[in-house]
């Protein structure tokens, strides 16, 4: 009797605790994933009309960035090039990373692919996407009789 | 392999640790910018990532061999939008380095482009080329 019921109840309590913890973290606001493993890290804003995506991409020229938009995915790809090696160079520290990158973002709604605006300023990339007309929510009038 | 490379490119931002209980006057987060420093025969080159800052918002001071970099970033949040997903926080950048005397402090050049600050620090004359030839007895 003792062990048979006591042990499962501990697991139940732990499960309950875990659910409460998850709930606590989820309750602190929108979806947060600070410290993404992918480059570039993005921030995303939205309203009914469209979306706004911002990414920090220091040291990358506009020519080295490719943006592709299909109906509901956005792909940011490119290359961060390294300084040309000079002879007899000695590194003291190297914290910045180089190479090619691809970032695919699943969008929450269909976008109008012909009206995408992308702007790179001081190493910060801003992308503005318009929601497709066909995808916009329709207002339904309620009639009274 | 390609996937590995992509992951290696992103390192989360690291916040500046407050020293001596001192606080910044600006109510913004402050991060340590990622920096490369290398040395060629004639100069030291420092490259640091300050996305969002331009030539007017970067302050560089050199005092007693301590080079301090401050970049102030004012990124306005787009009007009429709600933030729905976030992987990084915007903020200022601050970092200091101690350099030796071998830099010609009057000839330092700084350029900001594409959110990248580049400092060229020429070596002082006596520090250059001190190669000692070893002769066989």
Which of A73-87, B8-22, B38-52, B90-104 tops mean pLDDT? B38-52
Residue from A82, A136, A131, A141 nearest A107 by CA: A131
Q: Which of B86, B95, B120, B127 would you mutate first to test chain A, the one with the most A CBs within 10 A?
A: B86
Q: Which of A89-98, A102-111, B4-13, B31-40 has the lowest mean pLDDT?
A: B4-13
Q: List A residues 2-41 in contact with B (Cβ-Cβ < 8 A).
A: 30-41
- Local confidence band at A13 (pLDDT 50, 70, 90 cut-offs): confident
Q: What is the DSSP string of A85-117?
A: PPTT-EEEEE----EEEEEEEE-SS-B-GGG-E
Q: What residues make up the domain containing A4? A: 1-32
What is residue B19's predicted lDDT score, i.e. its pLDDT?
63
- pLDDT > 70 in chain A, percent: 83
Distance from CA of A143 to the nearest CA of B (A): 31
Q: In this structure, is residue A20 part of a structural domain?
A: yes
Same domain, yes or no, for A2 and A68? Answer: no
Q: What angle do CA B58, B59, B62 make, to 5 degrees?
A: 140
Q: What is the DSSP string of chain B?
A: -HHHHHHHH----EEPPPPTT---SS-S-EEEPPEEEEE-SSEEEEEEE-TT--TTSEEEEEETTEEEEEE----PPPTT-EEEEES----EEEEEEE--TTB-GGG-EEEEETTEEEEEEEBPGGGS----PPPP-
Q: In this structure, is residue B43 part of a structural domain?
A: yes
**Is residue A83 predicted with pLDDT exceeding 60?**
yes
Same domain, yes or no, for A9 and A43? Answer: no
Q: What residues make up the domain containing B47? A: 36-75+90-127
Residue count (chain B): 137
Higher-confidence residue of A136 and B96: namely B96
Q: In this structure, is residue B28 part of a structural domain?
A: no
Same domain, yes or no, for A116 and A46? Answer: yes
Same domain, yes or no, for A71 and A103? Answer: yes
Same domain, yes or no, for A78 and A27? Answer: no
Q: Looking at the partner chain, which of B6, B11, B83 has a beta carbon nearest the beta carbon of A101?
A: B6
Instruction: Report the pLDDT averaged over residues B107-122.
Output: 92
**Is residue A30 predicted with pLDDT exceeding 50?**
no
Asked if B10's CB is within 8 angstroms of A40's CB, the reply is: yes
**Is residue B126 predicted with pLDDT exceeding 80?**
no
Q: In this structure, is residue B135 part of a structural domain?
A: no
Same domain, yes or no, for A74 and A127? Answer: yes
Tokens of B100: 């030796």
Q: Which of A6-15, A48-57, A76-85, A105-114 has the lowest mean pLDDT?
A: A6-15
CATH of the domain at B58: 2.60.40.790
Residues from chain B that touch A100, judged by Cβ atoms under 8 A, are: 2, 5-6
Q: Looking at the partner chain, which of B8, B54, B81 has a beta carbon nearest the beta carbon of A47?
A: B81
Same domain, yes or no, for A75 and A108? Answer: yes
Higher-confidence residue of A33 and B37: namely B37
What is residue B3's predicted lDDT score, i.e. its pLDDT?
44
Asked if B87's CB is within 8 angstroms of A123's CB, the reply is: no
**Is residue A39 predicted with pLDDT exceeding 90?**
no
Residues 6+ apart with CB under 8 A from B34: A95, A96, B11, B48, B49
Q: In this structure, is residue A145 part of a structural domain?
A: no
Q: How many CB pairs under 8 A join A and B?
A: 156
Q: In this structure, is residue A91 part of a structural domain?
A: no
Residue written as token pair 């592709």? A68
Q: In this structure, is residue B11 part of a structural domain?
A: no
**pLDDT tens digits along B17-57:** 766 666 777 778 889 999 999 988 888 899 999 999 999 99
């Amino acid at each position: 009797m003792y062990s048979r019921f006591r042990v499962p109840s501990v697991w139940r309590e732990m499960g309950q605790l875990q659910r409460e913890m998850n709930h606590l973290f989820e309750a602190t606001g929108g979806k947060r994933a600070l410290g993404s493993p992918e480059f570039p890290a993005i921030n995303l804003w939205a309203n009914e009309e469209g979306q706004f995506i911002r990414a920090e991409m220091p040291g990358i020229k506009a020519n080295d960035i490719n943006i592709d938009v299909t109906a509901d995915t956005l792909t940011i790809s490119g290359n961060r090039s390294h300084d040309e090696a000079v002879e007899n160079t000695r590194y003291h520290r190297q914290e910045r990373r180089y190479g090619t990158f691809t970032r695919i973002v699943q969008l929450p709604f269909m976008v109008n692919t012909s009206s995408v605006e992308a702007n790179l300023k001081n190493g910060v990339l801003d992308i503005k996407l318009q929601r497709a007309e066909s995808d916009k929510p329709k207002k339904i009038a309620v009639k009274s009789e | 392999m390609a996937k590995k490379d992509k992951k290696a490119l992103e390192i989360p931002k690291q916040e500046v640790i407050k020293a001596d209980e001192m606080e910044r006057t600006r109510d913004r987060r402050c991060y340590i910018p990622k920096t490369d420093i290398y040395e060629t025969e004639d100069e030291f080159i420092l490259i640091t990532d300050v996305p969002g800052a331009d030539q007017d918002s970067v302050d560089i001071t050199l005092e007693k061999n301590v080079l301090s970099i401050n970049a102030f970033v004012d990124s306005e949040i787009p009007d009429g939008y709600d933030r729905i997903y976030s992987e990084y926080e915007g903020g200022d950048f601050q970092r200091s380095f101690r350099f030796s005397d071998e830099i010609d402090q009057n000839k330092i050049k700084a350029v900001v482009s594409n959110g990248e600050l580049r400092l060229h620090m020429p070596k002082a004359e006596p520090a250059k080329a001190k190669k000692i030839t070893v002769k066989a007895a």
